């Protein structure tokens, strides 16, 4: 399995369509029109912040700051000591440079499991999101096999 590999079908939208302002992208409550560009740009931003220096080492702290109700500007300033304009310049450079790595994860086909489906309240969902971020913040560095 290639974790973080580029979906080639997403590139045309990033190459030819107008990008969303990062503040709009990061505060959207639902997928706006031009969803293909929204998804592709969101993926690229997440990928850069998860795998690229200087963002990757603090991605979990940034995500936690957003989940705790901080604005993107406040989270960027407190976690990365940068602003949204610099993040946007870095994202455009990341896309132009075309050096988007990925990790290969060994995969075995397994017998399907029966999963339990549970509906969470909004408060339970927010608490679960926080727990997941904290749990994965302590996980091993996934980019060792680039």
Percent of the chain with pLDDT over 90: 18
Average pLDDT over residues 76-97: 91
Q: Which of 64, 65, 70, 63 is nearest to 49 (CA)?
A: 63
SS3 29: coil
- Asked if pLDDT for residue 54 goes beyond 70, the answer is yes
Average pLDDT, the chain: 78
| Buried residues in 90-105 as b, exposed as e (16+ CB within 10 A) | bbeebbeeeeeebeee
Average pLDDT over residues 44-56: 86
* pLDDT tier at 88, thresholds 50, 70, 90: very high
- Asked if pLDDT for residue 125 goes beyond 70, the answer is yes
* pLDDT tier at 36, thresholds 50, 70, 90: confident
Please tell me whether the overall predicted TM-score, pTM, comes out greater than 0.75 for this model.
no
């Amino acid at each position: 399995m290639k974790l973080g590999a580029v979906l080639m079908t997403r590139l045309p939208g990033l190459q030819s369509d107008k990008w969303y302002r990062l503040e709009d992208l990061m505060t959207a409550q639902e997928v706006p029109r031009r969803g293909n560009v929204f998804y592709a740009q969101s993926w690229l931003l997440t990928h850069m912040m998860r795998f690229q220096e200087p963002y990757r080492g603090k991605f979990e702290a940034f995500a936690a700051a957003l989940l705790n109700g901080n604005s993107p500007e406040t989270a960027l300033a407190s976690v990365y000591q940068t602003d949204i304009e610099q993040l946007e310049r870095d994202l455009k450079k990341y896309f132009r440079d075309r050096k988007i790595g990925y990790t290969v994860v060994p995969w075995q086909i397994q017998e399907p499991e029966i999963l339990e489906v549970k509906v969470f309240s909004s408060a339970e969902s927010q608490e679960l999101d926080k727990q997941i971020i904290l749990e994965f913040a302590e996980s091993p560095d996934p980019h060792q096999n680039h």
